[in-house]
Amino acid sequence: MRYNEFMKIGIVSLGCSKNLIDSQTAMKFLTRQGHAFTANVREADVIIVNTCAFINDAKQESINTILEMADYKESRCQKLIVMGCLPQRYRKDLENALPEVDRFISIDEYDHLEDILKEEIEPEAEKDCDIVLATKPWTGYLRIADGCNNKCAFCAIPNIRGQYKSVPFEKLLQEAAKLNEIGVKEINLIAQDTSRYGFDLYSRNRLLDLLKELNAMDFHWIRILYLYPDLITEDFLKEMRKLEKVLPYFDMPVQHGSDRLLKAMRRITDSSKIRTLTSSIRRVYDDPTLRTTIIVGFPSETRDDFKQLVEMVSEVKWDHLGAFKYSLEENTEAYDIRPRVAGKTARNRLDKIMSLQQEISVERKQRYVGQIMEVLVEGRDAIKKMYIGRNRTQAPDDIDGHTVFTSERDIEPGIFVQVRITEIRGYDFYGVEI
Ligand code: SF4
């Protein structure tokens, strides 16, 4: 994703929405220091690449992007800065391998990010600036915590991001109020694990308290992403249901369906808890959206483990499911687990799960055909003369598809409209504004 509007600094933000928030923080500091931005990196004086190193594909994408940006440096750009998970993990190697990069900024330097940027990029006239959005102006992310105390065997995040650290409650309310003030209508709560919000600071879970406060503000949709399944109880769900702006959207990565493998992955939940929880959500809410992610090809995954995963996916029928091939990561427990699954086997399993999910996804969405859904308008395809937006089952991170619709009037992006759904095509909804 590439952002920004005017000139001078080009930011390329890779990876997840949590990384996007770091890019947004860098943009805020740079705006405060009087800089402007350009969406066209070819005309940037300074290029910043915010990298992801979550899995091998992400690392490769980060390196390719740095090399691509280094080419622009030869023409106009005077400085190339690389921040994020990649330098956090591999700084020494990168410094040797990529002399084109002027400055690497690791995550553990983020406490001083504003000063580092000031040192690297000479400030212009300083300006007042509280918040800068790297998203569309009607959508905002609120990072409620960073880091993770879980020890999932496949995951390098705790090494990269450190221990779980909640953002103080009052600070979140202030940030949410600012987002509200600048016109954000859809707020998305993120963290490595949103379900644990507050435990470290207040010795108790304060996610519900936070949702109540946000529900009282002038947002239209409130969405929670990255819930870890073990802490979501039926009582929590019943309380959450009372908050009318909090969408019935449950993004809970379950990772696998075999208990033996979940244990090897050091997950806290087992398959029966996952099934119970998804049933509870469907009991408490009339029409919730369930999203998950799973990993195939984790070391020692047998044919039988995979069969159990297929059974669980067929049975639970998540609305959205993202599957990833296991990626070998140094300094994680899974690195030493044997036997490793052959790449070809993992790819076949991935294909099998994704074709199964494609069928499930289309089948699940049929229930909306003929229904009227509220849609947040995000743009217009002038050639097809169609508008594009998202309904409540579709988060803003480009994973859940879009809602495409026609209308007889001119509509400004950023408003909510009512759309009658007429058709489902792949992951997208099609319809007509009423
Ligand atoms: S919950 Fe597990 S997968 Fe998620 S960030 Fe923490 S250790 Fe990684």
Rounded-to-integer distance, Cα 29 and Cα 22, Å: 11
134/141 Cα distance (integer angstroms): 9
237 CB within 6 A, ligand 1: no
Write the pLDDT tens digit of every residue in 56-115.
889 999 999 999 998 887 776 679 999 999 999 999 999 999 999 999 999 989 989 999
Nearest CA residue ID for atom 2, ligand 1: 152
Q: Residue 205: what pLDDT?
A: 95
- CA 192–ligand 1 middle distance (angstroms): 6
Contact 321, 294 (CB under 8 A): yes
119/417 Cα distance (integer angstroms): 46
228 Cβ below 6 A of ligand 1: yes
Q: Give the CA dihedral 343, 344, 347, 352, nearest 10 degrees.
A: -140
Q: Are domains 8-120 and 135-247 of this chain identical in fold? A: no
162 C-alpha to ligand 1 centroid (Å): 11
192 close to ligand 1 (CB < 6 Angstrom): yes
Nearest CA to ligand 1 atom 4: 192
CATH tag, 8-120: 3.40.50.12160
Q: Is 157 in the pocket of ligand 1 (CB under 6 A)?
A: yes
* Minimum mean pLDDT range among 19-23, 104-108, 361-365, 380-384: 380-384
369-433 classified as CATH 3.40.50.2300 = no
Gap between the Cα atoms of 158 and 289, Å rounded:
28
Longest CA pairwise span in the chain (Å): 64
Which pLDDT belongs to residue 321?
A: 97
pLDDT mean across residues, the chain: 92
Residue 150, ligand 1, Cβ within 6 A:
yes
pLDDT at 7 over 50: no
Q: Domain extents for the chain?
A: 8-120, 135-247, 250-367, 369-433
Ligand 1 geometric centre to CA of 110 (Å):
21
Output the 3-class SS for 130-190: CCCCCCCCCEEEEECEECCCCCCCCCCHHHHHCCCEECCHHHHHHHHHHHHHCCCCEEEEE
For domain 250-367, give the fold: Transcription Regulator spoIIAA (3.30.750)
pLDDT above 90 as % of the chain: 78
| 269 in contact with ligand 1, CB cutoff 6 A | no
- Residues 149 and 181 sit within 8 Å (Cβ to Cβ): no
pLDDT of 250 strictly over 90: yes
Residues 6+ apart with CB under 8 A from 349: 296, 297, 301, 306
Quick: pLDDT tens for 154-178.
999 898 889 999 999 999 999 999 9
> Does the global pTM surpass 0.85?
yes
398-414 residue pLDDT tens: 899 999 999 999 999 99
| CATH 3.90.1200.10 given to domain 135-247 | no
